[in-house]
Structure formats: C-alpha cells, structure tokens
Chains A and B, each alone.
Chain A
Amino acid sequence: MNQADLSKLVSALRIAVKPKPRLFASPEGPAGRLRKLKATVTALVKYERIELNYPRAEEAQGYAERLISDAIRNGDCHKHTMEMADYWLDEKQLIHKLFKVLVPRYKEYNSSYTKLVLGPKTYPGYYAGTAILELKGNPFPALQPATQNYHYWLHNVLLDEAKREFRVAKAESNTNLSEPVASKN
C-alpha cells in the first residue's frame, strides 16, 4: 500500500486517465519518450489542432491537460509551474501564450481543455489509426457538428407530438377521476 505524495497539489483532470502510461520505446529510452511528447505538446499549444497517431495523441493529451491545469491553479509566479512550462514548451513565446491566452480562456471551464477525435486509418487492420488532438475554443471550424438533435427532424416532430398527446390524455384522466365525485352530489 502506498501513501499518496503530498508535496504537490494537482487539479483533477477531466479526461479518462489510464492506470499505466504507454512506454514509447526509443533509442534514448524514457528520456526520448518525454522528448517526443514534449514536441507534441509544443505543437498542440502552437497550432491548437494537430493530426497524429492515436497512442501519442492520448499520452500528449494527459500532459497538455496537466500543464494547463497547473497554470490555472498556480499562475505564472509559481516557480515549479514555470519550470514545467519551460520544459514542456520548446518555443518560449508559447509560455507567454499559455499564461496569457490559454489560462484566461480555460479558467471558467468545467470540462476538459482538449478534445481527442479519431481520424482516418489509411490501411485496414487492427491497429490504432490517426487522431486529431485539439485545444477547445480554437478558431478553426468545428470537426464535428455542434448538436446532433434537431427539433424539425421528422421522428423528433412525431415524438414531440406523441408526448404532448400523452400529457393531455393524462391530464384529462386525472380530471375524470375527480369529477365523478362532484357530479354524484
């Protein structure tokens, strides 16, 4: 049984976090894994929407969310947060973007800050294909339509009408139950 680490306070992430990290074998070992994820997180903050392979996208999503949540919780005067931002963002103007643009954008959010959408698989088979990782609130047109349900679709029209009829019938039956008592007298 392990005791939770108390040295840092972290915000709860609003994405699904898997219990074990992916290893991403590379000639440099674990240092290489973090170097590649660093490049992905930098690109995400720079371009706000990137297309890449699904496994790396999912790992980078976690790190990006952690970075943004730390920046929101602690602000730019916090030494540790600034060190993390300095490490994870290769281009230094992106540190400015993180604290001055992304933090005010995501301060009031109750959901996750990134979105991971599955992309095309260029060849059939059982492997994770591509994915599109984007920061929410980006200026590009949406990848998926905003709402799925429209009230003017035929089946929605029919359902709404059926619900209305049910409510009316129920109200009538309630009044019928109370009326016979009154009419007898």
Chain B
Amino acid sequence: MLRRVVLQTFRQGLAQSFFKRNAASLSESAVTQHPIETSEEAGAKSGSKQKNGDESGNTVVVAPPEFRFMYPEFLPDPTMERRNKLKEKLERMDMLQRRSIIEIPEFYTGSIMAVTVADSNSPNKFACFVGICIQRGGSGLQAWFILRNVVDRQGVEILYEMYCPLIQKIEVLRLERRLDESLLYLRDALPEYSTFPFEMEAERRLNNSVVPINPIKVKLRPRPWLERWERQNLQGVEDLNLPQRYYDRAKEVAKPWEKYDLMLQYRKTIPAEEQEKIYAEVHSQLQQQDLKRKIKRRRGPSSEQ
C-alpha cells in the first residue's frame, strides 16, 4: 500500500537533469564549513585565496565571495531544462582561454566603458564606442552588456557580446555602480544623463578595494515613456510626479507575494555550493591572468623609457 508506483511523465532530459541534481547533492558527504555572508554590495576586491579544511584535513581552495559579482557570467543559466554540466565546463574553459588573450575587466551596470571592435567597413578597420553600461546579462560565452551614449543628440545603444572575437579592447573609464541593476530608464531620462564624451580618459580609482555607488537620482522627461517606471520600484530616479491613479493602478497589478515565493527564488539562482565549486575551479586562472597583466603594465612604461 505504501509502495504504490506513481506514473510520472516528464521528458527524458528533465528527468535526467533533476535526478542528477538530486544524486549529486546526496553524494556530497562533506558539509562545507565556509560561512558565506549574503552580501548585496560588491565587497573588497581581495586577491587572496581562502583555504578551508574539509573533514579529511585536506585544504579546499575556495574563491572569495565577491567573485560572483565580478564574474557573474561564469554562473550557468539557472533554467533547469538547459543545465548540462559538461557543456558548462567546456564553456568555462573557452571563456578562460578568451580572457587570456584579451582583458575583460570588472564592470557593473553604471560604469562608463570604451569598447574597440574590429570593423572591416570603417577606414581605420576599428570602431570605438564609449558609453554607460545600462544592462548586462547572458551566461557563459553569450554574456553581453549594453552601452548607451548620446551622439549628435541621437541616443545610441550597442549590445556587445563580451566573448566575441571581434572585440579588440574593453576599457573601463569609470568604475562605479548605481542604485539599480538595470538603467533602462535612461532612455526616458533627459539626454545629459546619458552623454559621455568619446575622448573621455580612464579615471584613476581613489579606493581600489571598494566599488563606489553613485547615488544620483535621474530626472525623466515628461510622459509618454517606454515603460511604466512607476511600477518598477526604481531607486535611481527622481520623484515621478504622476497623478495618484497611476500609483493606485500599480498597487492593483503588483504581485507582493512573489517576494515570499521561496521556490521561485530558488529556480532563479544557482545554489551557493555550486557557485563555490565553479569559482574555485576558475579563480586561480583568473588571478594568474590578472597578475600577468599587472606586471606587464608596470614593465610596459618602464621598458619604453
């Protein structure tokens, strides 16, 4: 009676993916003792490896917790139907290979960047664009970011795929963060908030360990807008000054229960244990590349002299 067989019909791939997830987690015999703090800000950009002991006494290499903010594209797409450990591992190898050739610096939404791309149609064979990063997304080799600038009073946005081989150089001119993760509202903001000169030079960071948060509140143009910004809980815009009926309707269509939906959050995230494994695999190579570039930069001007 208690051992009734229940017919469950799901696709083979689905069954494999979640049974494997179950099996993998059950086979972990050592519970990690490294307490990861839930940090919503990028912490110190520390270069130190943290070594923790597991139960057998061997040192386990663990990356610093800030890595997940610095290199978010190394985490796979959380959609369960598309998870494939082998594909993700191969993708990470390819990403590291590309990073060994070109420097893809740490940046966040709100940073001002300059990207040089190989362009066969331009006279110099290179095309350069400077802009503010308004959004970033994608995982693995498909990671992308959008740069926005206003050129000759025309707003221009370009989506760059970070690992595209046509990209020659990615330079961060000003490294900072904003109050929101997505700055799409700059499309409806006054143009001065999106204008950056193409001749802008890289600014030196005052404090190398902390990424500053720019608390600017942007002024939007009068309506009509591209999206209903009053429904999005934006921190980085000034008071929208809309009639009360907009806010009432926003309350009607809001989904306040989603904040408490624990399984929805779970399906959108990669669990901490998996994140640790991924970054432990990857961080030593990333640090080596970083170090080599620093040495090259220091030697470069001195060797020229």
Contact = CB atoms under 8 A, between A and B. Distances in A.
Nearest to B15: A16
A172 interface: no
Nearest to A2: B77
B7 interface: yes
A53 to B, nearest CB: 12
Given A2-B137, A12-B272, A34 B38 contact: no
B291 interface: no
A34 B68 contact: no
A2 B136 CA distance: 10
Interface stretch (A61-69, A92-100, A149-157): A61-69
A84 to B, nearest CB: 6
Nearest to A111: B26
Given A15-B22, A80-B38, A10 B265 contact: yes
A144 interface: yes
B226 interface: no
B18 interface: yes
Interface in A1-17: 1-17
A16 B4 contact: no
Contacts of A180: none
A4 B72 contact: yes
A126 B7 contact: yes
Interface string B112-127: 0000000000000000
Interface in A120-162: 120-121, 126, 128-129, 143-144
Contact of B267 (A6, A19, A34): A19
A78 interface: yes
Interface of B: 1-4, 6-7, 10, 14, 17-19, 21-22, 25-26, 28-29, 31, 36, 38, 40, 68-69, 72-73, 75-81, 136-140, 142-143, 255, 257-258, 260-275
Interface of A: 1-19, 21, 30-31, 34, 54, 59, 62-63, 66-67, 70, 73-74, 78, 80, 83-84, 87-88, 108, 110-111, 117-121, 126, 128-129, 143-144
